[in-house]
Amino acid sequence: MQPGLIPPAFQGGMDRSDARVRNAAGDTLSHYRDVRAATVELCAPLAIEDYVVQSMPDASPAKWHLAHTSWFFEEFVLARAAADYRPYAAPYRYLFNSYYNAVGPMHCRAARGMLSRPTVAEVMAYRAAVDGRMASLLEAGRLADGLDAALTLGLEHERQHQELLLTDIKHLFSLNPLQPAYRERPRGERARAAPLRHVRFQGGLAPIGHAGPGFCFDNELPRHPALVRPFRLASRPVTNGEYLEFVRAGGYEDARLWLADGWALARREQWQRPIYWSASLEEEFTLTGPRELDRDTPLSHVSGYEADAFARWAGARLPTEFEWELAAGTVPAAGNFLERREWHPQAAVAAAGAAAPDTLLQMFGDVWEWTQSAYAPYPGYSPAAGALGEYNGKFMINQLVLRGGSCATSAQHIRASYRNFFPPAARWQLSGVRLAGDIA
């Protein structure tokens, strides 16, 4: 196995003795099959034509997601488990490599939609073959040193692609004049959003980053103290109705509210409202098709620039990721996640008997929450040598951190220390806003 292939942070993400027990009991293979089947199940509503189209350079066709996640297991587990391993199809190593320069060259990301071949059927056959080989490897017993961590990373990587699959499909369908629904879902009774309050935190020297034996990505480490000044945090995310006031008040026409880069981009691309809102401001496009704009549901699909401009208009600011993580440690990591199959954010409703002034709602699930923090390495972070060292570290530039997960995130994939990251211009993700402010 290539030296340095598995970064120490990934190795530490799963206790090795625990991995051996799970292998012996067959739990690892069952978990592997569950995660892989979930990806295929998410593709079930698609027509064959839907699998191939790429709606923009930042999105990928569903077929590519299915192939790339299989490539990951073949490249980083199967090929490392046996010196004489023969790849399923040699060209796939090039076609479905995403950004791992240490592995070799890769097909242009913006041209993934040009890959009419291999066909969807051939990609599904590839996926089945990789699953069969993985099953044989896992049934044989304990994985070689380091490959248990690569396996776990591969499963978490696949969960990330499940969310990307949904948001990429949503963007694709939104551009279709027919505005098809990904899933049909009856509209339930509308709920009123809980009143917006501000929860005060004293701050202090806060422990930041992952702790404990469970899995984490390397960008959540090392755990370290961060000085957080006293701050206040909104009790829930910003709603559509609150953002609608910003739009109608001319928020997209007032340069004073915007960061320079954001203002230039908004002018150039003629932004006037969130990406999936209709021009009438009465509807929004969702995974269940067009629907009336619900003023009580959390705002979603805004860029970091829009989030920052709204916060300034509201007399507030975006939280830092350290403030967010400190506050998130006071509530359970529960919410509207993928497993609920709502396919859309839901209104924040205060729990019966909750101490409303001090209760944080929807810290997890529904929408990712933009922070003002640059996606940068924690003190002492160093990406490992080898291909998997490229997983996170090389992207720590020109991006902002988002926290909390969304309705397209698996509940089994999120935690308070999880750091998502996107460029501030990104709008197609389920990203929203929670306001923060200083306390004098």
- Going by DSSP bridges, is the β-strand pair 231-234/368-374 parallel, antiparallel, or unpaired? unpaired
Distance CA 46, CA 410 (A): 20
What's the rounded Cα separation, in Å, for the pair 335 and 403? 13
DSSP 206: E
What average pLDDT does the structure give for the chain? 92
From residue 58, how far is each of 55, 90, 118, 394, 429 by CA, in Å? Answer: 8, 26, 21, 17, 11
- Supply the pLDDT for residue 14: 33
pLDDT higher than 90, residue 424? yes
pLDDT score for 144: 83
Continuous H helices in 195-250? 240-248
Residue pLDDT, tens place only, 428-440: 999 999 999 999 8
- 10-14, 119-123, 172-176, 249-253: least confident range: 10-14
Comparing C-alpha atoms, which of 7, 393, 69, 429 is closest to residue 215? 7
**CATH architecture of the domain formed by 198-238+297-438:** Alpha-Beta Complex (3.90)
CA distances from 122 to 42, 118, 372 (A): 18, 6, 43
Segment 67-81 mean pLDDT: 97
Q: Say whether pLDDT at 304 is over 60.
A: yes
* Helix, strand or coil, per DSSP, at residue 96: coil
Cβ neighbours for 119, distance < 8 A, ≥ 6 positions apart: none
Q: Which of 302, 198, 324 is nearest to 258 (CA)?
A: 302
pLDDT value, residue 352: 56
What per-residue confidence (pLDDT) applies to 116? 97
- Is 60 exceeded by the pLDDT of residue 186? yes
pTM, two decimals, is 0.92
| H or E stretch at 9 | helix 8-11
Q: Are 97 and 79 in contact (CB under 8 A)?
A: no
Sign of torsion, CA 373 303 262 311? negative
> Domain residue spans in the chain?
8-174, 198-238+297-438
Model confidence at 6, pLDDT cuts 50, 70, 90, reads very low
Q: Is residue 151 within 8 Å of residue 255, measured between CB atoms?
A: no
CA-wise closest residue to 6 among 71, 75, 57: 75
Q: Are 366 and 237 in contact (CB under 8 A)?
A: yes
Q: Does the CA dihedral 394-395-397-403 come out positive or negative? A: negative
Read off the pLDDT of each residue in 130-150 and give the average, rounded to a whole number.
Answer: 91
Residues 6+ apart with CB under 8 A from 295: 239, 240, 241, 244
Per-residue confidence band for 7, with pLDDT thresholds at 50, 70 and 90: very low
How confident is the model at residue 318, as a pLDDT?
Answer: 98
List the structure tokens of 230.
């006293």
List, for residues 332-386, the tens digit of each pLDDT value. Answer: 999 999 999 999 999 999 765 555 567 999 999 999 999 999 999 999 999 877 8
- Give pLDDT, residue 386: 87
Cα separation, 148 vs 6, in Å, equals 10
The phi, psi pair for 9, rounded to 5°, reads -65, -40
Give the closest residue to 218 by CA, choosing from 309, 153, 264.
153
State mean pLDDT over 95-108. Answer: 97
pLDDT in tens, 273-294: 999 999 999 999 999 999 999 9
pLDDT in tens, 9-53: 433 333 333 343 344 436 999 999 999 999 999 999 999 999 999
pLDDT at 360: 96
Cβ–Cβ < 8 Å for 144, 81:
yes
Query: What class, spelled out in words, does domain 8-174 have in CATH?
Result: mainly alpha
